[in-house]
């Protein structure tokens, strides 16, 4: 029985080879160089030039992993944009936890530094950098709209200090062994940043202002990252972190689906309080309550 790659090769790729070969043989030099850099010379030759996904069994999973990695990086550039726009338009930080974002930011900065210092391909962790930047923006907006402008400045200063210590100081401040311990802790921070949100949804009985786009983006992103890590990165610390994140993202996604149309307890309490504060309307007795207006007197004044 033919395998799935063999079926795809014989039924789809082979009939289209004359057309596809015209495209692959006329690619611009920068595109060729980028593909060679991503896939390696051997896989580039077999997949792109040879149009054969069965020749080297390791090339197809690698190509899928690279494509997923690039897609994750691209989508991560906008994952927190809806939350940022919502904060700016409402000028309110109600319902957004600074602690949650601060923990996630710290976790992502550590993961970014660890991957960069290990020399792993950017396509395997690039989204961490983009999401971290968005998390920093959200954190600052939450503090500013909560009336804590000074704290926002202190938070930015702390972020700059962390980035310098982890990425630009070499091993002067944080050596490689310590970096490994920090990466192990980053997984715990990532878990800790999601638990408050899970509890909040359960406690309020609704998703409130939580962005479902971000939740499902995280879910599919973490699942894809498990695959790309298994294919390209031989590091258990990173793998376990993505597995833990995926598990919690499954719970969050399940909550979003379960509470999709359910009003939160906070909203119900607010609505009830408003209705109780309204004064009852006067009951009509059938007699006009308006004061009588006297007409002008016709009595002659003498």
What would the pLDDT profile of 114-148 be if each residue is shown by its tens digit? 989 888 888 778 888 889 999 999 999 989 998 99
More confident residue, 155 or 118: 155
In a domain, 123, yes or no: yes
Query: 175 with 110, same domain?
Result: yes
Whether residues 33 and 110 share a domain: the answer is: no
Give the pLDDT of residue 80. 86
Where would I find the beta strands (DSSP E) of the chain? Answer: none
pTM across the whole model: 0.66
Contacts (Cβ under 8 Å, ≥6 apart) of 144: 152
Q: What confidence score (pLDDT) does residue 153 get?
A: 94
Residue 132 in any domain: the answer is yes
pLDDT at 161: 94
Same domain, 235 and 94: yes
Asked if 74 and 52 sit in the same domain, the reply is no
Q: What is the pLDDT of residues 210-252, one digit of tens each?
A: 677 778 887 888 888 888 888 887 778 778 878 888 888 899 8
Mean pLDDT of the chain: 80
Q: What is the spatial distance between Cα 268 and Cα 122, in angstroms, rounded to a whole number?
A: 46
Judgement on whether residues 224 and 113 belong to the same structural domain of the protein: yes
Both 175 and 97 in one domain: the answer is yes
Residue 19 falls within a domain, yes or no? yes
Cα–Cα dist 200/129, whole Å: 27
Are 142 and 221 part of one and the same domain?
A: yes
Exposed, middle or buried: residue 85 (CB in 10 Å: 0-12, 13-18, 19+)?
A: exposed
Same domain, residue pair 92 and 13: no
Residue 124 DSSP symbol: G
Task: Give tens-digit pLDDT for 160-203.
Answer: 999 999 988 877 888 888 888 898 888 788 878 888 778 877 87
- Same structural domain, 178 and 224: yes
In the prediction, which pLDDT does 290 show?
A: 44
- Assess if residue 301 is contained within a domain: no
The structural domain count of the chain equals 2
Report which DSSP code applies to 290. Answer: S
Asked if residue 45 is part of any domain, the answer here is yes
Q: How many CA atoms lie within 13 A of 56 on its CB side?
A: 18
pLDDT (0 to 100) of residue 157: 96
Residues 192 and 52 in one domain: no
What is the Cα–Cα distance from 142 to 95, expressed in whole angstroms? Answer: 10
Instruction: Work out the pLDDT band at 209, boundaries 50, 70, 90.
Output: low
Q: Does some domain include residue 25?
A: yes
Tens digits of residue pLDDT in 252-283: 889 888 888 766 555 455 445 444 544 444 44
Task: Read off the pLDDT band of 296 (50, 70, 90).
Answer: very low
Locate tokens 């009939």: which residue?
15
162 and 253 housed in the same domain:
yes
Asked whether residue 288 is assigned to any structural domain, the reply reads no
Q: Do 44 and 86 reside in the same domain of the chain?
A: no
Q: Does some domain include residue 273?
A: no
| pLDDT for position 141 | 93
Instruction: Quote the domain boundaries for residue 41.
Output: 4-56
């Amino acid at each position: 029985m033919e395998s799935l790659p063999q079926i795809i090769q014989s039924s789809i790729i082979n009939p289209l080879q004359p057309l596809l070969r015209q495209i692959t043989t006329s690619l611009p030099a920068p595109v060729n160089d980028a593909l060679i850099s991503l896939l390696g010379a051997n896989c580039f030759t077999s997949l792109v030039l040879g149009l054969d996904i069965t020749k080297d069994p390791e090339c197809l999973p690698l190509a899928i992993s690279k494509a997923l990695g690039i897609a994750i990086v691209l989508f991560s550039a906008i994952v927190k944009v809806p939350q940022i726009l919502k904060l700016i338009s409402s000028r309110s930080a109600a319902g957004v936890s600074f602690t949650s974002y601060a923990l996630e930011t710290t976790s992502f900065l550590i993961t970014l530094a660890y991957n960069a210092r290990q020399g792993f391909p950017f396509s395997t962790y690039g989204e961490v950098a983009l999401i971290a930047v968005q998390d920093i923006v959200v954190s600052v907006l939450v503090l500013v709209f909560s009336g804590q402008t000074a704290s926002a400045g202190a938070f930015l200063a702390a972020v700059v200090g962390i980035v310098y210590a982890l990425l630009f100081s070499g091993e002067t401040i944080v050596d490689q062994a310590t970096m490994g311990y920090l990466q192990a802790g980053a997984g715990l921070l990532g878990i800790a940043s999601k638990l408050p949100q899970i509890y909040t949804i359960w406690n309020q009985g609704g998703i409130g202002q939580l962005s479902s786009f971000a939740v499902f983006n995280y879910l599919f992103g973490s699942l894809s990252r498990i695959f790309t890590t298994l294919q390209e990165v031989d590091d258990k610390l990173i793998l376990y972190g993505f597995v833990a994140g995926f598990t919690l993202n499954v719970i969050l996604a399940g909550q979003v689906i379960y509470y999709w149309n359910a009003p939160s307890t906070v909203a119900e309490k607010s609505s009830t309080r408003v209705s109780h504060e309204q004064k009852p309307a006067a009951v009509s007795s059938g007699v006009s309550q308006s004061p009588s207006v006297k007409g002008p007197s016709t009595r002659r004044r003498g």
